[in-house]
Homo-oligomer: A and B are copies of this chain.
Amino acid sequence: MPTVTFLPSYRKIDVERGCTILDAAQRAGLNVNVICGGQGKCGKCVMFVQAGKTSFDLQKYFRFFNEDEIRRGACLACVTSVDGDIQVTIPESSLIQEQKILITREDLPIEFRPSVRKFYVQLQPPSLADPSPDLSRLLWGIQKSGGPVAEKMYAPLEVLREIPGILRHSDWKVTGTIALVPGGYRLIDLQENDTAMRLYGAAVDLGSTTIVVYLWDLVTGKVVGIASNYNKQISCGEDILARVNFARKNGLAKLQALAVESINTALTSAADNAGIDREDIYEVVIAGNTVMTHMLLGIDPAYMIAEPYVPVVRRALSVAASRIGIACNQNCGLFAFPAVSDFIGGDIIADILACGMAEREEISLMIDIGTNFEVVLGNREWMFSCAGAAGPALEGGEVLFGMRANPGAIEKVTIDPTTLAPAYTTINSAKPRGITGSGLIDLLAEMLVAGIIDRTGRINTGIENDRVRKGDHFPEFVVVWERETAIGKDIVITENDIKNLIMSKASVHAACVTLMKEAGVTRHEIATIYFAGAFGNYLDKKNATIIGIIPEIGIDHVRNIGNGAVAGANMALINRSKRKTLDEIAYKIAYIELNAEPSFMEEYTSSAFLPHTDLTLFPAVQEELEATRNHGKE
C-alpha cells in the first residue's frame, strides 16, 4: 500500500491506491477544511504535492490555481488520488481552525460530577454461608466502594447476561460502569480486572458546517483530546434548508448516516491522537441546532422548514449511542440538548449554559451571529429569544473583498483620521487577500469616525484623498493598494458593501431591541452582552457598538464566549446536575417570531443607520462622533 507523508508534521499513513489525499489526511487524524464536502467546489483543501505520483482532473485545478501554482504541486486534496508513495505539504489555511472556547472550567465554578463512574471491586466468591446472587454481590460491592445504593442500581439484560461469566473468569475482580439515568443508576458495563482509570466522555458541537469534539477523561476531569471535522452532510446540501429538502426527496437515512460518520471521524481522530480506545468512551453529549439534532437521531425534520415550523421534539433526549451508530462503547449513552423551537436549538441552550445567564439575577443579552442570528435576553427568572437571517455580510459574504478567516485575511483595521491611511493586521501576517467580518466592522466604524462615510453609510466623495474614489459601479474606499496585496489588485470597500453590512447589522440590532421591548427592559438594565460563536472571537467590541450591532452598554460589559455550543456540551458532560437544568431552561424561554412583530420592521428601519436614527441610545458613540467632528473642524 502506498504511504502518504504529510508535512510539516511528518504524519504518515498507508492507504490503498486510488484513495483521495483528503481521505488519507482525515484517516491520519488531520482536520482538513472542506466546505463543499469533497466535491472539488470550495477550493478549501489546497495542498502541495512535494514528491510522488497522483491522479487528478486538471480542469478542476484551473478553477483555483494558475499554471505556476500547479507547477509547484498545488492540488485539491479532495479530487486528487494517491498513485504511489507521496509527500504532501498542508498549508495551515487548509486545516480547520479551532474555534476558541473562551469560557473554560477554570472560569466557572463548575464542579466535576460526571454522570458515569467506574468502580473496581474485589468480591468474595459465593459460599454456602453467602449464596447471594451474582447481581446483588456485585452491586453491594459497588455500593461499598462508594457507588450508589445497591437497590437503586439495575442492570440491563445484555449486561446481566454477561455477569456470571465475567465474575468467575476474572476471579471476582471486576470493574463496573454506572450511569445515572432517569429512574436510577444503570450498570452499563462490566469488565474483568481493574479498568477504573479508563473512562472517557465526549462533548460534541454538531454544527451544520463543522463538528467539534472534546474528549474528556472522566476520572481526572481533564480534556485529553480535541478534534473537529467538516459536517459530511454538506454533500447533500450546503445549508440546512437544502438538506431538509434532500431528506424529503431521498429519505433521512443518508443524512443521518453522514452526521454520524462526521461525528465518528472526529471522535476517532481525538481518541487516536490521545491514545484512547473508543470502547472506553461511555458518554456522549451533543449540542446542535434543532434540525441537526433531529437528523442525527433519525427524526423527520421536514415540518420545521415551512409554516408553522414545528419540530417533532424539543426536550432533551437520552438514547443509546450505539442505537444511532456512534462509534464508542456499545452501552454508551448519548444525551442531546433540548431546544426551544426549530430556530432556537440545543446549540443556543448550550450557549446559555456556557455564559451562565440562566443562573443569575442580572439581565444578560446573548447573541450568536452567523448567516442566521439568534438572540436571547433574560435572567434566571425569565427569557425571551428570537432568530432571523443576518445575511452573509457580517461573515464576509456579499462583500466584494470579504473572505473567511483564512491566511491573508485582514482581521483588524484602524484608520488614521488625518491621512485616512488604514493600518491592518492579517491572519498569519500573510500579504492581504481580503477582509474578514471583524475587519469589515472595524473598517465601518473607523470610516464613520473618520468621516469617510456618513451615518447612512454613504461615502463622502467630496473628500480629497486617493483612497476615496468612484469605482465601476459604486463609490469605494481603497483599503490596501495593489502592490501590498497577494492578489495583484486594490482591496476596496464599496458603498454597496457598506449597504449590505448595514442591512445585516440592522437585523441583529432590531432583534435585540424587539426582545428588550417585549421584556420591558432598557439598555441600562442589561448587565452583560455575550457574543457566542466564531463571529465574536475577533470582533472589536467598541467598533461593534459604534456601528450599532448591539445596544450601547459599555464595552467592559461585552464578552465573547467563543464556541459556546461545545463549552455548554462540555459542562453538561462533566457536571450531571447542569444537565438536569437544561429542560427547565428550554421551557422557560419564550420564543418571539420576529416576522409576526410589527415593531421589528419599524426598529429595523431605525437601525439601518450608523449606529441608529436615535443617537441618544448611543451616547458614548454620539460623544465620540461629535469629538472627532469638532476635532476635524479645529
- Interface residues of chain A, those whose CB is within 8 Å of chain B, are 126-128, 130-136, 154-157, 160-161, 163-165, 168, 181-184, 297-300, 302-303, 307-315, 317, 319, 323-324, 341, 593, 596
**A596 vs B127: C-alpha distance when bound (angstroms):** 13
Whether B164 lies near A134 (C-beta < 8 A) is no
Known contacts A160-B312, A183-B183, A183-B184, then 17 further A-B pairs from the complex at CB < 8 Å, ordered by chain A residue = A127-B308, A128-B309, A130-B308, A133-B313, A133-B314, A135-B313, A136-B313, A136-B315, A154-B182, A155-B313, A160-B297, A161-B300, A164-B302, A164-B303, A168-B303, A181-B183, A182-B183
Which residues of chain B are within 8 angstroms of A136 by Cβ–Cβ distance?
313-315
Whether A299 lies near B161 (C-beta < 8 A) is yes
Whether B314 lies near A160 (C-beta < 8 A) is no
**A298 vs B132: C-alpha distance when bound (angstroms):** 20
Whether A323 lies near B157 (C-beta < 8 A) is yes
Which residues of chain B are within 8 angstroms of A298 by Cβ–Cβ distance?
157, 161
**A28 vs B457: C-alpha distance when bound (angstroms):** 87
Q: Which of B164, B300, B308, B311 contacts A312 (CB 8 A)?
A: B164
Which residues of chain B are within 8 angstroms of A307 by Cβ–Cβ distance?
128
- 4 pairs of A and B residues whose beta carbons are closest in the complex: A183-B183, A182-B183, A135-B313, A131-B308
Measured CB to CB, the closest approach of chain B to A25, in angstroms, equals: 34
Main SS at interface, chain A: loop
Given contacts A307-B128, A593-B128, contact A135 B182 (CB under 8 A): no
Q: Which of B297, B311, B596 contacts A134 (CB 8 A)?
A: B311
Of all chain B residues, which has the CB nearest A130?
Answer: B308
Which residues of chain B are within 8 angstroms of A596 by Cβ–Cβ distance?
128
Of all chain B residues, which has the CB nearest A318?
Answer: B154
Measured CB to CB, the closest approach of chain B to A545, in angstroms, equals: 34
Whether B313 lies near A131 (C-beta < 8 A) is no
Of all chain B residues, which has the CB nearest A314?
Answer: B133
**A298 vs B314: C-alpha distance when bound (angstroms):** 37
Which residues of chain B are within 8 angstroms of A126 by Cβ–Cβ distance?
303, 308, 310
Candidate in A135, A163, A298, A319 with the most chain B CB atoms within 10 angstroms? A135
Which residues of chain B are within 8 angstroms of A314 by Cβ–Cβ distance?
133, 135-136
Which residues of chain B are within 8 angstroms of A164 by Cβ–Cβ distance?
299-300, 302-303, 312
Q: Which of B134, B157, B182, B309 contacts A310 (CB 8 A)?
A: B134
Of all chain B residues, which has the CB nearest A139?
Answer: B315
What are 12 A-B contacts defined by CB distance under 8 Å? A126-B303, A128-B309, A132-B310, A136-B314, A154-B315, A157-B317, A161-B298, A161-B299, A164-B302, A164-B303, A165-B300, A168-B303
Candidate in A133, A136, A165, A298 with the most chain B CB atoms within 10 angstroms? A133
